[in-house]
A = this chain, B = another copy of it.
C-alpha cells in the first residue's frame, strides 16, 4: 500500500512521535556568500561532504567523476521538507473539500463522508480498498492539466498544520544549501519521492530549483485522448516509488545509479535507493536524516530502527538534525 495512503489514516502506531516543533530557528540568518553549507555545524559530517565533493570533482584524481555521472538524488518528505503530516495528505483532504463544495451530495457518500466526519475507523476497516477509493476519487479521473491547476491552487494557500506557515517554510535550510553546493560542483539534482509525481513537480522548481523533469515519483496510469488533446489520469497505480520502487524509478527516469543519495529514517522508504547508489562504480556518498530534534522539528524513530541499523551496517552517513544543523527552517 502506498505510504501516503497509509498516512491518510493518520495513525502511526509503529512510531514514537513527539511533535514539538518550532517554525523559526533563533540562530537567525547566516551569511551564504562563498562559504559552503553555512547552516551546517562544523564537524565530521560537514567535513565528509566537502571532502567527498572536492575529491570527485578534481580532474586527474583517481576519484574524479565525469560531470554526466554526477547524479544526486534526494527523497522529499522528511528529507527536504517536514513530513508531519505529509503534504500529500493535506492535498487529499483539500481535494475532498473542494469536490464537496462543487457537489454537496458527495458528503453523504463514502469515502468523502468518512473524511468529513474524521472517521478513521472507516479507513482502518476498509483497508487498501477504501484508501485507493479515496485517492482514485481525489487524484485521478481528471486531465493532468486539471490536476496541476488544482495542485497549484492548493499550494498557493496551504499552511502547515501546527506551525501555520506557508509550505516553503517547512523546507530544511541546510538541505537547500546542500542542493546548491552540489549543483555548483556540477551535480545534477533529482527528487525521488514516494509522493505522487505531479504534486511534487508543482513545487520542485520554485521550492528547490529542481525542474519538473528531474522529479521521480509515484505515478498513476495515463491515457492520451486525441480528440480532446489531453492526458487523463486513470485510477490505477503505475509505479509506487517507495522502498524497492525507488531504484526502479531511478533507472526508468535517470538511467544510471546516483553517486550521491540522501533519504531519511522514519518509514525506511529510502534504504533501497541508498543501496542502489552504493553500487555505483564511482566513489559514492549515502546519507540519512535522523529526526531526533524534538525542539526545533520533530522526534520520531522507527520501532525496529531499520534505517539507522542499515546505515551502520553499510557505513552510510547519518545527519543528526539536532547536532549537525545550525538551523532547520529558512527564515522565509
Chain A interfacial positions (CB closer than 8 Å to B) = 68, 71, 144, 188, 190, 197-198, 201, 205, 211-215, 219, 222-224, 226, 229-231, 238, 244-248, 251-256, 272, 275-276, 278-279
Contact = CB atoms under 8 A, between A and B. Distances in A.
- List the number of copies, as a whole number: 2
Given A244-B224, A279-B229, A279-B230, A68 B211 contact: yes
Contacts of A215: 255
Most chain B CB atoms below 10 A, which of A213, A229, A248, A278 = A213
A281 to B, nearest CB: 9
Contacts of A219: 252
A148 to B, nearest CB: 9
B279 A251 contact: no
Nearest to A243: B224
A23 B202 CA distance: 46
A231 B251 contact: yes
Most chain B CB atoms below 10 A, which of A222, A230, A275 = A222
B188 A255 contact: no
A180 to B, nearest CB: 17
A252 B251 CA distance: 13
A278 B201 contact: no
A224 to B, nearest CB: 4
A212 B256 CA distance: 8
22 contacts: A68-B212, A188-B211, A198-B255, A201-B255, A212-B256, A213-B255, A215-B255, A222-B251, A222-B252, A223-B244, A223-B248, A224-B245, A224-B247, A224-B272, A226-B244, A226-B272, A226-B275, A229-B275, A229-B279, A230-B279, A231-B247, A238-B252
B248 A212 contact: no
A279 B213 CA distance: 19
A266 B207 CA distance: 43
A77 to B, nearest CB: 19
A129 to B, nearest CB: 25
A127 to B, nearest CB: 25
A226 B254 CA distance: 19
Nearest to A190: B213
Contacts of A248: 222-224, 231
Q: Which 5 A-B pairs have the closest CB atoms?
A: A212-B255, A224-B247, A229-B279, A224-B244, A222-B248
Contacts of A68: 205, 211-212
A71 B244 CA distance: 31
